[in-house]
Amino acid sequence: MATVKFTEEHEWIALDGDVGTVGISDYAQNQLGDVVYVEVPEAGASFNKGEEAAVVESVKAASEVYAPADGEIVEANKDLEDNPGAVNSDAQGAGWFYKIKLNNVADIDGLMDEDAYKAYVAELD
């Protein structure tokens, strides 16, 4: 089973070996409301931790999706361009944004596990 970690910017990353699948959390999706547009990065693009890697727009707002670690995009969920609603129905599943091959797997050690993330968002409400 993949290790899932969360950022303070509400991205999740599910790590399988040195490749992480990245998307936005259910909490972030609920805050955004109905997602109407998603822009994902191209395979081969490289990002440093904290850099804008994707964009999500909803009826309420536009938001950046940041890279949770340094790495190279190995796959993008191009289905979201035609079906951004997948983020609404399954933000932490079919609504994933991209897969990134991490330069250093230890980069995600400082991110929150699910319990810590739940406590973090509980303080935001």
Q: With pLDDT > 90 as the criterion, what percentage of the chain qualifies? A: 97
Domains of the chain (ranges, CATH numbers): 3-124 (2.40.50.100)
Closest CA to 5 of 122, 113, 125: 113
Stated pTM of the model: 0.95
Torsion angle of C-alpha atoms 50, 72, 93, 84, degrees rounded to 10: 80
Residue type, 69: A
The tens digit of pLDDT for each residue in 1-18 reads 678 999 999 999 999 999
